[in-house]
Each structure stands twice: as C-alpha cells, then as structure tokens.
Structure 1
Amino acid sequence: MRTAIVNIGAILTGDLTAPTASGDAILMDGGLIASVGTVSDRDLQSCDVVIDAAGAIVAPGLIDSHVHITFGDYTPRQRTVGFLESYVHGGTTTAITASEVHTPGRPKDPEGVKALAIAALKCFQDFRPGGMRVHAGSVILEPGLSEGDFAELRAKGVWLAKAGFGAFDDPIEYAPYVQMANRHGMVTTMHTGGSSIPGSSGIWAEHVLAANPTVSFHVNGGPVAIPDEDFPRLVGESDVAMQVCTAGNLRTTLLVADLLAEAGRLDRLLIATDTPTGSGIMPLGMLYTMTHLCSLCGMAPEIAVAAAAGNNARVYGLNSGILEAGRDADVIVLDACAGGSKNDARSAISNGDIPAVAAVVTAGVPRFVGRSRNTPAPIKAVKVAESRVVQDFSG
C-alpha cells in the first residue's frame, strides 16, 4: 500500500539528535517510509490513501518497551481481551514484552522457560492486534540455564532475556546469567526496585551494576522505587538504559529525567508503561508519561517523543521509532483536544494535557483516521482526503 500524509503542521522525528524535520508531508510505500518533508504531485496521484493532517503534527508510533503480554490479545492479570488493540488507539504502535511472567502456571525450570519464550515469540510473529507490532518471547532467567541454552534460544530467534522473577536467593546471583545472555547477543532487561509479585525480591543499584543489563526496567519503580541515592550511581557508573514507566513512582520519574539531562545522556531515557499489572491497563500510558516529563520537567515535546520512540528503537535494535526514509512506516497524527486551552499538540503536551490521537498508521496501513476512541476529538479536522480502497478508516 502507498499512503501519504499531507498538510502536516510539524514533524517530530523521534530522533534525539534531530528531533524535528522541515516539510509538511510524508510518503509511505510497501510498509516503509519513502520520504519525509515533501511528496510530489505524481506520488500523491499513485497513493492508495492520502490523509489530510489539517495542520496537526505527526510523530513516529510510540514504542512501549514494557508490556506484560501472555498469549493473544489477552491479559490474565486484568482478565481483559483486546488491550493491545486498544493501546493502538493511544498512539502505541509497538509493544515489547517484559517477559511472559503473567502466564498462568508459568514454568520455572530451564526447559520450561525456554519453551515459554519460544512459544510466545512464534505466536506473535504473524499476529498484529489492531496493526500493532508485538515483540514477544523474553526468556525469564532461572537457575540452571547454561551457555548452551542461550545458544539454542538465539538459534530459534529469541533475543530478549529478563532478570527479576527467577528463583535466586540473592539478586546478585543474576549477574552471570545476564552476562551469558549478553554474550549471545541478547537484549537483557532487569527488574529494578522493590518486589512486584510474590516470590520476587527487591533489586537495587548494586545488583544492576553487577549484572550490567541492557535496560534497567522501570527504574522509577515497578511500582516501588529504589532509594534516591541509587539513581546517581546508575547514571554515573554505567551506560545502562534507564526505563521510566507510567505505573511507577512519578517523583522518581522526574528525578531520573533530570539526572540524565544534567549528564547529557538523555539517549539513555526510555519511556514505557509497565502494564497490564496491578496498576491496570493504560492505553494512554505512554502519552501520560510524556506529558508529565514536559509539564513538570520542562522537557520539549519532541524530546519526549524521542524517549518514547527513537530511544527505544535504538536500544532494542528496531527499524521503527524514527521518521526517516527506509524506516518502518509507523506514524501517528496528534493534535490538541477539542475544548482544551491549547491549540496544538505540542502546547497541549507541555501544558500537561493528553493530546488527541487523530490517526494511526502502521506498516503503511491506516488503522483509523479522524479520532481515537480513547481520547477526545482533535481540534483540527484530520481526514482521509483520497482513498482508492474500500474502507473508511473510521475509529
């Protein structure tokens, strides 16, 4: 499918090094972005769908790097069906598993945790709820896993490993397992903070520093945060990516952002939700954390977009998250909500208001255009200007 978005008010790229781009149009072809900034009349005439942004802003689809999936679009933690498809209506176009730890009766032996990760990976390879990309299958680190096990997992496509819910007496014992996974080219993630489920234990800075994972999961608390004195250690003594989550401690979210900004390392800041959990289901969670950082920390909206999209893409090695030619065509259209005090999405976000999600495109295919069912309507009349396919793309 060839899809274009025209009459764009501003382009937020998701790239921390170049967070905005000039121009007013984006062309997508065959699931990838073909051009950003301008689209020729000839290209427009060959498009299957042309979306009129009516002066609203565009951004890359948001990447939630901490989602507790199980199998299918279902969460046993909240007994809800369709939550992932609902997250698409919150502007989230990619979900990355935080391990399938909430699967009922999950196995805890080496063969079982390998089988769970492989099954989850394969179940989501061709399943895209609401058009969302889901990266599933994170092996939960348990005692007894060996170098051979990690080699087998990598050979079968598993590329994520999670520390935090294994049967270890002391969290320091995760270190050699994280390092084994690192050696096999996996993206390693580590629960950070107090215990979140029965049987797990608190993991603080000393444990994260010893293990040296790729990502310190919900470093602001999931939901309970580490001591304040641990945050400067993680910032200054490591290069670990520091993920802040909506379902965590808001005060320490702001603390992490300030510390990374002072260190000139906002490239290490990742936004996620850590849902569904006991905190619930949050289709607008990514947008809420972005508005918190902008309204309470003074962060520019385009930098918050980078933390919610491009930074996650870079750390996890994804082709989405940044608006540039050759990237996956996952694009969202945002505007200020009707009836609010602001007239554009960036001003609304800086004011602490949730923006209206006016359209979502994934893999170059419009999933809805006009308004999200999870946000108020946009001020601007975002619409399908031309369509050569038999679908109205309403939300």
Structure 2
Amino acid sequence: MSVLALTNIGKLLTGDIQNPVSKFNTIVVKDGKIAKVGNGDILKNFKVEKTVDAAGMTVSPGFIDSHVHTVLGDYTPRQKTQDYLIGAVHGGVTTFISAGECHTPGRPKDPAGTKALAILAHKSFDNLRSTGLKVHGGVLILEKGLVEADFAEMAKEGVWLVGEVGLGSVKKPEDAKPMVEWAKKYGMKVAMHTGGTSIPGSSTVTADDVIAVQPTVVSHINGGPTAVAPKEIEKLINTTDLTLEIVQCGNPKIAQLVVNKLNEKGALNRLIFGNDSPSGTGIIPLGVLRTMSYVASMCGIPAEKVVAMATGNTAKTYGLNTGLIEEGKDADLVIMDAPMGSIASDAMGALEAGDLPGVAMVIVDGEIIVTKSRNTPPSTRKYTVK
C-alpha cells in the first residue's frame, strides 16, 4: 500500500466555501485517497514511502473544469489540437466534466446513435484514467425519439451525465422536461445550454426555459459566448436555487454581475467554473485558473472562496468524491505559489492581484502527474521530494 505525505504546507485550502482555510499543515495520502489531515505528528501513524516538502507553498484540491467538449481521447477536432486536456492539468485541473461530445465528426443524431456515442465515450474515458486524466465523458445529447427505457439502459452502462439541453434536436422545454425527469430518475446530472446560440444547431435559451426544465446546472450563464440578459440573470438567481456556471469563453461583464448578485444573497455556494473549451474562442489550457484570477481580482471575492468555487462547489453539485481536503476523498491536489516576479507573497495573493499562481505540482489519485507546470510561470519557492 503506497503512502505519500505532504508536509510544511504554508496554507491548506479545504475546497469548502463555508470554511475555506484549514488550520493544518500536513496531508497523508494512502492508496490514492486522503488518509489523514493534521499537523506533523500524524506522520508517526503511517509508514510513509515518499514525502513532499511543500516549502511553505499553498496546497488546494485539484481544480474541476465543469464544462469541456471532449470527443475521444486527448484530441479535439474542433480546434485540431492534441494534448489539450493534459495542458489544462498543467494549470491545476485534475477533473474534467464533459458537457457533451457535440464536436464528434458526423455525430449521430438518432436515438440509437446518440446512446451509442454516450456509452462509447463514457467507457473510453474510464479506460484513459491511467494517464492521469480524470475525465467524466460520455454525455447523452437529447434527441427526439428517446424514451424512458433508453435512459434506464444507459444508466445500466454507467452513463450519468446529460449534455447541454439544446445542443440536440430536443430544444423546447415541453420536449426536454420529460426527458430530464427520466434522467434524474436514473441518477443522472443534467446541464442546460443557457443564453444565445453558440454553434450551428444550438438555440437561444431563456430563464423561463431553464425554470421549466430544472437542470442540475445552468451552463455558461455568462454566455457561450452570448450571455443571458441581466434581468434574466436576476430571475434565475432570485427565483431558483440552481447551480450557475460561468465560463472562460463567455462574457466577463455578465460574469461579474453573476458573482456580485450571488455574493449579495450569500449564495456563492451556487457558483461553479468551466472553460467551455474547445470552442470557437479556442483552447485556453489555463482557462479555469484565469477565471479564478478574474473573480478574485475584479469581483473582490477572497481567493480562498474562489478556489472553493472551482473545487468543492463543483464536486458537491455533481456528487464527486474529490474537490475537498477531507479524509476518504480522492487525493487530487495542487501545490502552488506566487509566481516569480509577482507583487504577491503567496498563491492567494497572486490571484487577488490578478496574477496566475505558479503551479508547482499536480497530484491525481495520489500519483504525482506534474512536477513543474509547462504553462504557468514558475513558483517563487521550490518543493523537495524524498
């Protein structure tokens, strides 16, 4: 049984937006799970095989990208790019949630074909975990003709996500609502396209449409790229308790409005972050980190809470065993620091200054995947491993 210890942590972030900073400085990982969180004295209870001295840097749960459009493997035909997912891992993302494999060339749009694609992608990404990519792919895109038995069949095969409602032929709330109810009956989580059209075949979705359908997540409320109108934003915030997602590829002015309105209501637990990539905007490997920096620096939200939006909030929304520094959770962790040359003294100060932290190490399921980010600036301090 492998045991990894992280010691000398300067600031330990929990991922819990209600209690974002831990008083402890040591984590013990055993067989890919967080076994114990405490101070240095906890090490005597374990036979530690490898120790990472964090040198006073910040440790947080791995970030979760709540909105990617995968196809199969680490390649996107949308932007003809290889290794874009691993590029995001170098930005601290340890979990990806597909919003639908809509960029699949020749994507089937009949009931049998849309089911087959979802099952194939789900099982394919499950088999890809050994590379360090934790991708929840295989997402059903709703097409006309699907019946309840189809949802039961897919749930049996492990499919548990429904892609953005509106990407397929099912666009009207009266058509989507019964399918969403079937999906929820079989334990599935549902995302719903919101705002203006993003790609040919998608449709404009209003607040009333969302309220009628009741998805799990209101996708890219700040636009993908065309945003929901401000009055529609306020309606969704004030009349529902739905989870709202802002994305890197969206409208920054509306993103700020969403953050401010949720903050006024004391409801920042409803906010999650996605990249919405690959898209027409392109591929931004540090998209989640950039959104975190934007919210911390331009919206005045403490960086520790912003980290929780990118970790624990998303994990709780989707029922994932990650995103929180708690015993029994998957050991998906990021070590980060102020980047060299920053005015800040640590990673959280960097985010609040509008900088991107230097990602020093990324751990997925207890395995060290990144030893030095290829995309962020280098960290000010250096960890040691023994």
Normalized against structure 2, the TM-score is what? 0.96
Match of 2:215 in 1: 213
**Unaligned ranges ≥5, structure 1:** 387-395
Per-residue CA shift, 1:22-73, capped at 9, x if unaligned? 1211111100001122243754973222111111100000010101110011
Aligned counterparts of 1:240 and 1:19: Cα–Cα separation in 2: 22
Match of 2:86 in 1: 85
Q: Using the TM superposition, give the Cα deviation of residue 279 of structure 1 relative to its aligned residue in structure 2, in angstroms.
A: 1.3
- Do the aligned partners of 1:159 and 1:187 also contact (CA within 8 Å) in 2? yes
Change (3 A) 1:45 1:312: closer
Per-residue CA shift, 1:335-393, capped at 9, x if unaligned? 00001211211111101100000111111111123x31101111011232x0xxxxxxx
Match of 2:56 in 1: 55
Structure 2 residue 177 is the aligned partner of structure 1 residue 175? yes
Match of 1:13 in 2: 14
Match of 1:64 in 2: 65
SS of 1:229 mapped into structure 2:
helix
SS of 2:127 mapped into structure 1:
coil
- Do the aligned partners of 1:171 and 1:203 also contact (CA within 8 Å) in 2? no
Match of 1:35 in 2: 36
**Unaligned ranges ≥5, structure 2:** none
Aligned counterparts of 1:44 and 1:246: Cα–Cα separation in 2: 43
Q: Using the TM superposition, give the Cα deviation of residue 272 of structure 1 relative to its aligned residue in structure 2, in angstroms.
A: 1.0
- Do the aligned partners of 2:333 and 2:362 also contact (CA within 8 Å) in 1? yes
Match of 1:391 in 2: none
Match of 1:26 in 2: 27
SS of 1:278 mapped into structure 2:
coil
SS of 2:245 mapped into structure 1:
strand
- Do the aligned partners of 2:28 and 2:43 also contact (CA within 8 Å) in 1? no
- Do the aligned partners of 1:97 and 1:136 also contact (CA within 8 Å) in 2? yes
SS of 2:305 mapped into structure 1:
helix
Match of 1:340 in 2: 342
> Across the two proteins, how many residue pairs are aligned to each other?
384
SS of 1:357 mapped into structure 2:
strand
Aligned counterparts of 1:227 and 1:41: Cα–Cα separation in 2: 52
Q: Which amino acid aligns with 2:215?
A: P
Match of 1:76 in 2: 77
Q: Which amino acid aligns with 1:285?
A: G
SS of 2:107 mapped into structure 1:
coil
Match of 2:145 in 1: 144
Structure 1 stretch displaced more, 181-190 or 346-355: 181-190
Q: Which amino acid aligns with 1:325?
A: E
Match of 2:108 in 1: 107
- Do the aligned partners of 1:92 and 1:132 also contact (CA within 8 Å) in 2? no
Change (3 A) 1:37 1:169: closer
Q: Using the TM superposition, give the Cα deviation of residue 172 of structure 1 relative to its aligned residue in structure 2, in angstroms.
A: 5.0
Aligned counterparts of 1:129 and 1:73: Cα–Cα separation in 2: 13
SS of 2:329 mapped into structure 1:
coil
Structure 1 segment 244-323 matched on structure 2, within 5 A: 244-323=246-325
Q: Which amino acid aligns with 2:55?
A: A
Aligned counterparts of 1:83 and 1:109: Cα–Cα separation in 2: 29
Q: Which amino acid aligns with 1:128?
A: R
Q: Which amino acid aligns with 2:57?
A: A
Q: Which amino acid aligns with 1:361?
A: I
Aligned counterparts of 2:69 and 2:156: Cα–Cα separation in 1: 24
Match of 1:94 in 2: 95
Aligned counterparts of 2:181 and 2:266: Cα–Cα separation in 1: 27
Match of 2:5 in 1: 4
Structure 1 segment 108-257 matched on structure 2, within 5 A: 108-128=109-129, 130-162=131-163, 163-168=165-170, 170=172, 173-257=175-259
- Do the aligned partners of 1:84 and 1:130 also contact (CA within 8 Å) in 2? no
CA RMSD of aligned residues (A): 1.5
Q: Percent identity?
A: 46
Structure 1 stretch displaced more, 155-164 or 110-119: 155-164
Structure 1 segment 360-379 matched on structure 2, within 5 A: 360-369=362-371, 371-379=372-380
Change (3 A) 1:42 1:59: closer
Aligned counterparts of 1:169 and 1:41: Cα–Cα separation in 2: 54
Aligned counterparts of 2:103 and 2:38: Cα–Cα separation in 1: 43
Q: Using the TM superposition, give the Cα deviation of residue 280 of structure 1 relative to its aligned residue in structure 2, in angstroms.
A: 1.3
Q: Which amino acid aligns with 1:123?
A: S
- Do the aligned partners of 1:225 and 1:249 also contact (CA within 8 Å) in 2? yes
Change (3 A) 1:169 1:32: closer
Aligned counterparts of 1:84 and 1:44: Cα–Cα separation in 2: 37
Normalized against structure 1, the TM-score is what? 0.94
Q: Which amino acid aligns with 2:15?
A: G
Structure 1 stretch displaced more, 258-267 or 326-335: 258-267
Structure 1 stretch displaced more, 77-86 or 172-181: 172-181
Aligned counterparts of 1:45 and 1:219: Cα–Cα separation in 2: 46
- Do the aligned partners of 1:28 and 1:35 also contact (CA within 8 Å) in 2? yes
Aligned counterparts of 1:41 and 1:32: Cα–Cα separation in 2: 16
Aligned counterparts of 2:350 and 2:136: Cα–Cα separation in 1: 31
Aligned counterparts of 1:229 and 1:142: Cα–Cα separation in 2: 30
Aligned counterparts of 1:90 and 1:264: Cα–Cα separation in 2: 29
Change (3 A) 1:27 1:221: same
- Do the aligned partners of 1:334 and 1:358 also contact (CA within 8 Å) in 2? yes
Aligned counterparts of 1:244 and 1:83: Cα–Cα separation in 2: 20
Aligned counterparts of 2:260 and 2:131: Cα–Cα separation in 1: 35
